[in-house]
């Protein structure tokens, strides 16, 4: 009789553990967070639109365009332009209509790649 009760108790305990593990696995699968994916496409410096290059020539004289990227996030287009002058590096953000949005200043030195033609 004692052996039967022990087996019955072990079966219930094992069933409870199995149920608990199943709940944990299902719960962990439903809490997966999907990061917002951005489509980043490099742009040739020569292909930059006139409003962007004019602003850089006017407000950032002496800076060189190092890199240009078109970013699409949730159907919103922005342009990220990295400019350098000596050890000064700035990133300029433009909206889809090529209006200047903001500047991100950096202190890292980036080797210039292409000069903007004036």
Say if residues 64 and 114 touch (Cβ distance below 8 Å). yes
Provide the token pair at 32: 């997966």
Predicted local confidence at residue 49, as pLDDT: 94
- Its CATH class, for the domain covering 39-106, is alpha beta
Q: What is the distance between the alpha carbons of residues 67 and 69, in angstroms, rounded to a whole number?
A: 7
Per-position pLDDT tens, the chain of length 118? 666 676 676 778 777 766 667 766 655 555 444 556 789 999 999 999 999 999 999 999 999 999 999 999 988 999 999 999 988 899 999 999 999 999 988 765 445 555 555 5
């Amino acid at each position: 009789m004692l052996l039967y009760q022990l087996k019955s108790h072990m079966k219930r305990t094992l069933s409870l553990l199995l149920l608990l593990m199943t709940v944990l696995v299902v719960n962990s699968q439903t809490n997966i967070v999907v990061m917002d994916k951005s489509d980043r496409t490099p742009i040739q410096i020569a292909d930059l639109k006139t409003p962007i290059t004019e602003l850089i020539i006017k407000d950032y004289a002496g800076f060189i365009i190092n890199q240009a990227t078109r970013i699409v996030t949730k159907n919103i287009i922005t342009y990220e332009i990295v400019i350098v002058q000596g050890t000064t590096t700035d990133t300029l953000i433009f909206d889809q209509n090529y209006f200047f949005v903001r500047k991100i200043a950096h202190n890292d030195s980036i080797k210039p790649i292409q000069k903007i033609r004036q």
